Amino acid sequence: MSAARQRRTLALAASNGATTKQLRRTVLSQAVVLGALAAVAGAVIGVLAVPAVTHWIIPVWTPWTGGPIDIPWTHVLGIMAVAMLSALVAALVPAQRLGRLDIVGVMKGQEVSPPPSRVVFLLGLAGAILGGIVLFYGIITHASEVFIVGGAVLLIGGALLLVPTLLGLAALGSQHLPVSLRLASRDAARQRSRSTPSVAAVVGAVAALTMMGVGLTSDTEQQRREYVPNALDGEAIVSLDVYGSDGAPRRVDDVVARTTETIKRTTPGLVVVPLAQVTGGHVFAGPGSDPKAVWPFVNYRPQGCTTTESISGDPDAPAVDGVPKCTQFGTHAWSGHGQIGVLPLAELDRRFHLTDNERTVLDKGGALAFTRAALPASITMVSGTLRVDSDTGEFTDITERAADTLPVATRTLDLAALPALPRDCGLFVTPDTATALGWATTTDAIGLYDPAGPISSADADRLNAAMTDSSYVEVERGFQRADQLIMGILVGIFAFLILVITLTSTALSMAEQQRDDATLAAVGATRGTRRAMAAGQAIVISLLGALIGVAVGLVPGIAITFPLTGNTQCDRLTNMCQEGYAHPIIKIPWLWLGLLVVAVPLTAALVSALAVRRAPTMTRRAT
C-alpha cells in the first residue's frame, strides 16, 4: 500500500532517470524500515503487556498470582525477524511490478492496474485445490491437528492468490448495487495494486479467526456434553493437600482436622461433610514403588471373573454397556466412577433422596450403586493385599483375605439426569459397613454446603484465601464456558486489525479521488454523496474480504473438528475415554462471525463517512 501511495513519486523519479533497480530498492528499503519499526514496537508492547495482564486483568476473573516475568529473548527475537521478513516479502510483488510502471499514466493520474496475472491465478487455484485435498485426506485417515493445519495453510494461501481475480468478478456482478457500492467495487477492481493487499489481509485474518473459532467452539461443546458434576449445584468440594513439601504423605486425619478448623473459622455458616472412600494400592502404588510394600484392595468381583481379573482386568472380557466387565467397582476399578464412597446415611439421603428400599439396604450393611450395567441383588466384594512390581507397575502377590456378599440397590445412570457423584465414586456404603467389613478408608476431600442456598462467591474467595499449602475450594456452578471470553478477545483484536486495514485503504482511495470529488462537487454533489462514496469504499473492502474469509475459513475449521472431537470417544457416564473414531461435534460461532461480517464493515463505513468533513478544493481540470 505504501508503494501504491507513492506511485506518483516513483514515476517522477523514473522520469528523471532513476533506474528500475533503484525504484525497487526504494520500495524494499521502505518495507525493511516499516517492518523493523513494527516488529520493535510489537515486541515492546507485548513484553510490557505481560505484567499488566497478570497483575490487573486476570485477577478480575480469578484469584491468580503469576511467577516472576521470564522473557524468552530468543523467541522474541525470532518473532521479530519473521515480522521483518514478512514485510520484505510483502514488498516483493509491488517492487517487481515497477518494471512495468506506466510513467505517463501515473503522472496524468490515469494509472490503472494491469490485468490479473494468469500465473498467480493458476498458483492460487492449485494451492486451494491441493489444500482441500489435504484436508479431505486428513479427515478420512483421521490425521492429527498438525496435518489439518498444514492443509489449512495451503487452502488459505491459495485463496489469497485468487483475490485479484475475485475483485474483478465482484466488479462484474455489481451492476445491481447502489451507485456508491457499484463505483467502489469497480474502483477496487481497477486499482488492484491498492485494493488487493487490503482485501487479502482481511481474508487472511477472517479465515484464520474462523478456523480457530470453529475449532474452539466445537471443542467447548464436546466438553459441555461430557461434563459430569462432582457436587450438587451451589455446593463445594475442598481438595486436600495430603502431601508435604518433600512429597511425603501427611497424616490425613491431621490435614482434615486443620482444614475443617479453617473452614469453621472463616465461614461458620457452612456445613462440613468429609468425603471418605475406600483406599487401596492405587493411591501410592505404581512404577518405582517399594516392591516390598503391601497395599490393600477392595474390589467387586462379578460372576465369571477371578479376583485377579477384578483388579488387573480381563483383556478378553467385553465391556458391559461401556463398563469393563471385571473391574466395575473398587479400589482398582477402571471406570471413571468406580471408586467406593463412604458417607453417612443422612448425607447419602440428602444427596440422592433415597427411596425406602435403598435406605433399608444401606442400613442393613448393603451398598448403593450407580451404573449402566445390570447388577444382581447381591454382589461379592473381595478384599486383601497385593504388591506392585517396581519396574512395570503390575500387581503381584495378590492375596485374597475375604469375600463378602452385600445386598445392593442399583440406580441406572441416565444422561438426562446425571447425579453429582463425588470423587469419582459410583458405589456407596456407610461408615458402619466399611468398619464392619474391615475396609481401610481415607478422606482426601471435604464437601461443603450452605443450608440457606448456594455458596456465595465471596465465601468461596475467603476460603481460598484462607487455605494453606495446595488445598483449594471449588464451587459447583455447572459447566462454565471458557471459550466466550477467548472468542471475545480474539474477535476484538481481529476486528481492530480489519478496521485499521480498511480505513487505511479507504483513506488512500479517497486521497487518490480528490479530483473526482471536486468534479462531483462542481456538478452539485453534496457532502452526503461524498460520504456515501467513502462509506462504499470501506464496505467493499471489509465486506468482500470478510465474506471470502469466512467461506475459506469454514472448510479447515470444520476439518479440524474431526481430530479435535472425533478421534477420542469419552463416555460421559463412566468418564472413560478410548481412542477410536466417532462422529465429530461441529459447532460454528455464527454470532461472532456475524459481528465480523456485519458490524465491522458498518463501523468502518460509519467512520469513513464521518471523516468526510470539508468540501474538496475546486480546481480547473485539464481533461
Residue 573: pLDDT band with limits 50, 70, 90 = low
Q: 525 has which bridge partners?
A: none
Can you give the pLDDT at residue 323? 65
Q: How do strand 236-239 and strand 441-449 relate by DSSP bridges?
A: antiparallel
Residue-wise pLDDT tens digits, 233-245? 899 988 887 665 5
DSSP 304: T
d(CA 369, CA 358): 10
Q: Over pLDDT 90: what percentage of the chain?
A: 26
- pLDDT tens per residue across span 254-276: 888 888 888 899 998 899 998 89
pLDDT average, residue stretch 450-469? 85
Range in 492-501, 508-517, 539-548 with the lowest mean pLDDT: 508-517
User: Is pLDDT of 582 > 80?
Assistant: no
Number of other residues whose CB lies within 10 A of the CB of residue 301: 23
Amino acid sitting at position 247: G
Per-residue pLDDT, averaged over 510-524, amounts to: 71
User: Residue by residue, what is the 3-state secondary structure of 592-621?
Assistant: HHHHHHHHHHHHHHHHHHHHCCCCCCCCCC
Please, what are the domains in the chain?
1-105 (no CATH), 112-227+482-623 (no CATH), 229-276+444-478 (3.30.70)
Q: Does 389 score more than 90 pLDDT?
A: no
Residues above pLDDT 70, as percent of the chain: 84
Confidence at residue 286, expressed as pLDDT on a 0 to 100 scale? 47
Q: Please, which residues have CB within 8 angstroms of residue 60's CB and are 6 or more apart in sequence?
A: none
Q: CA 72 to CA 61: how far, in whole Å?
A: 27
Q: Mapping DSSP to helix (H, G, I), strand (E, B) and coil, where does residue 354 land?
A: coil
Q: Are 279 and 340 within 8 A, CB to CB? A: no
Those residues whose C-beta lies under 8 Å from the C-beta of residue 9, and which sit 6 or more positions away, are none
Query: pLDDT of 125-161, one tens digit each?
Result: 999 999 999 888 888 877 777 888 888 889 998 998 8
Q: What is the DSSP string of 197-213?
A: HHHHHHHHHHHHHHHHH
Say what the pTM is: 0.73
| pLDDT value of residue 285 | 45
For residue 565, what is the DSSP state?
A: I
What pLDDT digit, counting tens, does each position of 313-326 carry?
766 665 655 567 78
pLDDT for 291 equals 63
Looking at residue 419, the DSSP 8-state letter turns out to be: -
Residue 430: CB atoms within 10 A of its CB come to: 21
* Nearest by Cα to 297 from 385, 235, 221, 219: 385
Average pLDDT over residues 220-244: 82
Q: pLDDT digits over 352-376, tens only? A: 899 999 999 999 999 999 887 778 9
Are 448 and 270 within 8 A, CB to CB?
yes
Give the residue-averaged pLDDT of 93-106: 69
pLDDT at 214 over 80: yes
CA 192 – CA 510 distance, rounded (Å): 15
As given in the structure block, the three cell numbers for residue 15 are 522520469
Within 10 angstroms of residue 93's Cβ, the number of other Cβ atoms is 15
Q: What is the pLDDT of residue 418?
A: 66
User: Mind spelling out the 3-state secondary structure of 361-412?
Assistant: HHHCCCEEEEECCCCCCEEEEEEEEEEECCCCCCEEEEEEEEEEEEEEEEEE
